[in-house]
Amino acid sequence: MSISLKAKTYLLLIVILAIGLLCACASPAPATPPPPSQPSGSTGTTTEKPPTSQNVPGASDVVKVVYFHTHVRCGACIYVETRTKYNVETYFKNELGNGKLTFEVYDLGDKKNAAIANKYKAVGSQLFINVVKDGVDHIKHIENVWMPKYLNDQEAFDELIQKTVRQALKDAS
């Protein structure tokens, strides 16, 4: 029994769609995993609410490191969140402690995060730095984190995050 041309076309379409679905987040997993002492990603919709410019007396300027993710996550997505969190918490403890810096994680699949996702125009796993200066948001999408250069080289990734956060803190002061 031979398969008709129409059936072959549908089969090919299904195979292409299946491959596309499997490759939807096709960034390679990092060659070097994050340190074992660090969590492998968040399970909730946001991390603990850190101090913000609205709840720290006298603070008017703040830098927000904001990571959005989808419900289904690949190794690269978890890596970007985990390494970013590690760098912020390790190298910017003072700024986190005094409210000049925050780190926030949001699940785009959670409807209660729709307003914040809309504010940042987030549509998938994305990292942003928002310098809030005099109450005005200056949102920057940090796209470079997805480049293979950074996903496959932990030292380069860490340097990128630290340099970006340092510059944002400088811009906020």
Is pLDDT larger for residue 34 or for residue 96? 96
Residue 97 pLDDT greater than 50, yes or no: yes
Please state, rounded to an integer, the average pLDDT across all residues of the chain. Answer: 79
With a pLDDT cut of 90, the percent of the chain lying above it is 58
pLDDT, residue 25, reads: 53
CB 69 within 8 A of CB 108: yes
Report DSSP state, residue 69. Answer: E
pLDDT single digits (tens) 144-166: 999 999 999 999 999 999 999 99
Confidence of residue 3 (pLDDT cuts 50, 70, 90): confident
Residue 53 pLDDT greater than 60, yes or no: no
Residue 132 CA to residue 27 CA, distance in Å, equals 31
The overall pTM is greater than 0.85: no
Mean pLDDT of 50-61: 47
pLDDT, residue 48, reads: 37
Domains and CATH numbers, the chain: 29-172 (3.40.30.10)
Mean pLDDT of 95-111: 93
Note every long-range contact of 19-24, with CB atoms under 8 Å and residues 24 or more positions apart, other chains counting.
none
Nearest to 113 by CA among 73, 77, 68: 68
pLDDT, residue 146, reads: 94
